[in-house]
Amino acid sequence: MREPLLRLSNVETFYGPIRAIRGVSLDVHQGTIVAVLGANGAGKTTILKTISGVMDPLKGAVVFEGREIQGEDPDRIARAGIAHVPEGRETFPYLTVRQNLLMGAYARRDRAAVPGDLEMVYGYIPRLRDLSQRVAGSMSGGEQQMLAIGRALMSRPRLLLLDEPSLGLSPRLVGEVFELIRRLNGETGLTILVVEQNAGTALATCHFGFVLELGRIVMEDTCENLMAKDDIKEFYLGMKDEGVREGRRWKRRKTWR
């Protein structure tokens, strides 16, 4: 099999004394959508932060395009081709949409290509063109999520990291966001690593999935197979029992074994 675009091997990341990631290994292959599923506090965000260099792992290696990148500064990793759409969107509230998008291209060296990529982003997310002079903080959650994705695309990434893009969005908007993810992957071949609690939508979109529990990978398979598994179904049932997904909390404790 080909070398994966991204490989984590035995990564351990700490918050002070707290070991949030306990030896995670996962591969992301070129041109695929990979999902990492897990409940609150499973360590999903920490994995993405470790990849994009916002946090440094204490042990293990992060290999991107054959090169070890763990411990490097985030701006170097961004330039190396990894873009991170953080949890909670994290737009620049007092900058306009256009300025926010341009910030996504800040670390780039090939400035000449930026205007063309701005058009590419407007092409994929036409609403951003209409809102281009609006201040980001005044937009709705869904618009800000689209902006955060557009901003990440402005760095022309070869790997896009998405942290819970469905968070706080209505089902219709969740559908729109994942439709965008599918199109970006299908039309440009962009490799996408998405972490989600919304397992249903994520599994319907991804090619390969990992299930994370308390900082460990407890299951990995193609998304098709994962969807067929009993405990995953139970996970869905859990969702259905509670009706609307209340904010971001699962009421019931989830187990995966």
Partner 1 sequence: MSQVIQIFMSGLAEGCIYALVALGFVLIYKATEMVNFAQGDLMMLGAFVGYFLIVGLGANYWIALVGAVVIMAVFSYALDVFVLRRVIGQPQFAVVMLTIGLGFVFRAAASMIWGANPLAFVTPFTDGTTSIGGAPIPDVSLSIVAGTAVLCGLLFALFQYTPVGVAMQAASQNQLAAYYMGIPVKRIFALIWAISGGVAAVAGILLAPLTLIDTSIGFLGLKAFAAAVLGGFGSIPGALAGGIAIGLIEQFSGVYLMDGFKDIAAYVVLLLVLFVRPQGLFGAAARKRV
Residues within the interface to Mg ion (CB under 5 A): 44-45, 87
Question: Under the criterion CB under 8 A, does residue 207 sit at the interface with partner 1?
Answer: no
Q: What is the DSSP letter of 65?
A: T
Task: Identify what 141 binds: partner 1, ligand ATP, Mg ion, none; CB under 5 to 8 Å per kind.
Answer: none
Q: Which of 7, 27, 37, 44 binds ligand ATP (CB under 6 A)?
A: 44
Phi, psi of 23 (to 5 degrees): 75, 60
Question: Under the criterion CB under 6 A, does residue 42 sit at the interface with ligand ATP?
Answer: yes
Task: Identify what 198 binds: Mg ion, ligand ATP, partner 1, none; CB under 5 to 8 Å per kind.
Answer: none
Tokens of 245: 């997904």
Question: 78 vs 139, which CB is nearer to partner 1?
Answer: 78
Alpha helices in 135-229 (DSSP H): 141-153, 171-188, 199-205, 223-228
3-class DSSP assignment, residue 39: coil
C-alpha distances in angstroms, 141 versus 4, 44, 209?
Answer: 34, 21, 26
End-to-end CA distance of the chain: 29
Tokens of 205: 């979109």
Beta strands in the chain (DSSP E): 6-15, 18-28, 33-37, 59-64, 67-68, 82-85, 159-163, 191-196, 208-213, 216-222
Q: Which of 25, 31, 92, 120 binds partner 1 (CB under 8 A)?
A: 92
Stretch that binds partner 1, among 34-42, 75-83, 182-190, 232-240 (CB under 8 A): 75-83
Question: Under the criterion CB under 6 A, does residue 58 sit at the interface with ligand ATP?
Answer: no
168, amino acid identity: G
What's the order of all strands across the beta sheet hosting 33-37? 82-85, 159-163, 191-196, 33-37, 208-213, 216-222
Residues 151-170 close enough to bind partner 1 by CB under 8 A: 151, 155
Question: Under the criterion CB under 6 A, does residue 252 sit at the interface with ligand ATP?
Answer: no
Contact status, residue 135 vs residue 96, Cβ threshold 8 Å: yes
Stretch that binds ligand ATP, among 35-43, 111-119, 128-136, 239-247 (CB under 6 A): 35-43
Residues 210-229 close enough to bind ligand ATP by CB under 6 A: none
Q: Which of 10, 41, 115, 119 binds ligand ATP (CB under 6 A)?
A: 41
Q: How far is the CB of 98 from partner 1 (least distance, A)?
A: 10
Burial-class residue 111 by CB neighbours within 10 Å (0-12, 13-18, 19+). Answer: exposed
Q: Which of 61, 63, 103, 218 binds partner 1 (CB under 8 A)?
A: 103
Question: Under the criterion CB under 6 A, does residue 191 sit at the interface with ligand ATP?
Answer: no
Q: How far is the CB of 51 from ligand ATP (least distance, A)?
A: 12
**Which H or E element spans position 78?**
helix 74-80
**List of residues contacting partner 1 (CB under 8 A):** 52, 54, 73-79, 84, 86, 90-95, 99-100, 102-104, 106-107, 137, 151, 155
**Which spans of this chain sit near ligand ATP (rule: CB under 6 A)?**
15, 18, 20, 38, 40-46, 87, 197
